[in-house]
Chains A and B, each alone.
Chain A
Amino acid sequence: MADSAVKPVIELKNVKKVYGKDVVGLKDINLTINKGEFVVIVGLSGAGKSTLLRSINRLIDITEGDILINGESITKAKGKELRMLRRNIGMIFQSFNLVKRSSVLRNVLTGRVGYYPTWKSTLNLFTKEDKQRAYDALQQVDLADKVYTRADELSGGQQQRVAIARVLTQDPDIILADEPTASLDPQTSRRVMQDLKMLNEKHGMTVVINLHSVELAQEFGKRVIGVRAGEIIYDGKMSETPKETFDQIYSGGDQDE
């Protein structure tokens, strides 16, 4: 912790989220994630994984506490300031969230939208460099031949890789992935996880992934965070985490921490 070379990129301070009047999303979360980490968050469905992840780029507003991105509070950020912080955080979704009727290239280019003034992006005036960047990203996920294909003509795995190319084009410091493989078959899932690993190792991005599959978590994760009922009940290195810990995390709350 005291290592000066280690730079925190995401800090959650006493973060609390209550939905409506009394549905607890998160209870008093304190968490620091450092630059270049590859973190997997595991836990039962409804444990609060999505709430935790979506709080980080403020797709969800938290009820109490503060979240810092590279030392800057996203909780207090407004307007352009908030958009600038978000531009530095890429997100991968379970349902891919591509614009299905648009071409693959246009979908990948939307990763750059945050870098343009409204009128320029609206008139589709993307620079040559950005188009090249988008094409390079598609090559890295092996989809260079699909540039002009409509997004909905691709398979689920291919669509998720387009989403990864979109994030690559966005070029953020942080990647959040909310169950990126939940709607994919095992083989495609591994491919997508490898692409996320590539973003971490080759591009130095800090990656935080919500995962349902323990096998994928064990294979790819470097740090594990276990969540249950809105609380972090485990946090440790994957290499030092025994199998029993996963059983405890997934035990549905009948065991004490």
Chain B
Amino acid sequence: MSSTEEETLMILPKKKFKILNLFWIILFVVGLVVSTKVTKTSLGALFANFSQFADIFLQMLHPNWSYLGAVIPLILETIKMAILGTVIGSILAFVYSLLIARNIVKNKAVTGILRVIMNIIRTVPDLLLGAIFVAIVGIGPVAGILALAICTFGIVVKLFYEAIETIDPGPIEALTAVGANKLQIIVFAVLPQVMTYFISYCLYAFEINVRASTVLGYIGAGGIGLYLQETLQVFDYPKTGTIIIAIILVVVLIDYVSSKSREALMK
């Protein structure tokens, strides 16, 4: 008995990587020390102010529920911004993706230029976009919607054009042979193969937009972020707590519904 046990133990391959793990830990610690030195951050301050942090946190844990009446309309505005931004951005991304997919547009110059433009748009962060649009169209939700639309565009266009480029080329060939024109080929051979992906990517962008839209108000681009900034400025942490809890609830709920829908789509 014991000998066979020993044998199986001997067969069992030894767990490797122990040394590697140690290496990662050392690298992490060294990295932390070096980076605080270089950026002149004081790790001590983080702990010294801990009591203050705990105090704020405690205040937030006692939210001011009477404030909820003021929060809800703005939460709704935030969601509306996210929806509109998603819809506008997705429509733009839909058309643009078809123009940069190399199995649809054969002209490499056209797709190349449009892709460079796409990549430039994709590098601009959402808060910067918000600030730019506040400067252009003024304070309010329109700026937020435009910023979210561009963000959505950036997310959806990349995923969607890549999905288009990986479709089965057979139906395109068949439709070409039947005498279909470009648009008919897209409608009958391309879209049936990628529409579920497109919807899934839009939902994914929507999830990101709901989160992003909650902070856009901070820079005056509409939505709940405005109150977040106001209450923080006057140190009214119970109200801040109310807002944060409301945001978390909405984000979790929308994330859940959206990701379940995406799962159902991909079945």
What is the CA–CA distance of A98 and B171 in the complex, to the nearest angstrom? 6
Question: Please, which residues of chain B bring their CB within 8 A of the CB of A106?
Answer: 188
- A140 lies within 8 A of chain B by Cβ: no
Docked-complex contact B187 and A99, CB < 8 angstroms: no
A187 within 8 A of B: no
Q: Is A251 in the interface zone, CB < 8 Å from B?
A: no
Q: Which of B138-146, B174-182, B201-209 lines the interface with chain A? A: B174-182
A85 to B179, CA, bound (A): 8
Cross-chain contact B179 with A86 (CB below 8 angstroms): yes
A121 to B191, CA, bound (A): 14
Interface flag for A170 (CB, 8 Å): yes
A87–B179 contact, CB under 8 A?
Answer: yes
Given A86-B176, A87-B178, A170-B178, A113:B170 Cβ within 8 A: no
A70 CB → nearest B CB, Å: 14
- CB-CB under 8 A from A111, the residues of chain B are 178
Contact A114 B170 (CB under 8 A): no
Cβ of A138 under 8 Å from chain B = no
Does A4 make an interface contact (CB < 8 A)? no
Is A125 in the interface zone, CB < 8 Å from B? no
Number of B residues contacting the other chain (C-beta, 8 Å)? 19
B177 touches A101 (CB 8 A): no
In whole angstroms, what is the CA distance A98 to B172 when docked?
Answer: 9
A96 to B171, CA, bound (A): 9
In angstroms, Cα B175 to Cα A102, docked, is 14
Beta-carbon contact of B188 and A110 below 8 Å: yes
Chain B residues with Cβ below 8 Å from A163 are: 174
A34 at the interface (CB under 8 A from B): no
A84 within 8 A of B: yes
> Is B177 a contact partner of A89 (Cβ separation < 8 A)?
yes
Contact status A97-B171, CB under 8 Å: yes
Alpha-carbon separation in the docked complex, A86 to B177 (Å): 6
Q: Which residues of chain A have C-beta atoms less than 8 A from B168's C-beta? A: 100
Q: How distant is A150 from chain B, measured CB to nearest CB, in Å? A: 10
Apart from A83-B181, A86-B179, what 6 extra A-B contacts exist at CB < 8 Å?
Answer: A59-B177, A85-B179, A97-B173, A98-B171, A106-B188, A166-B178
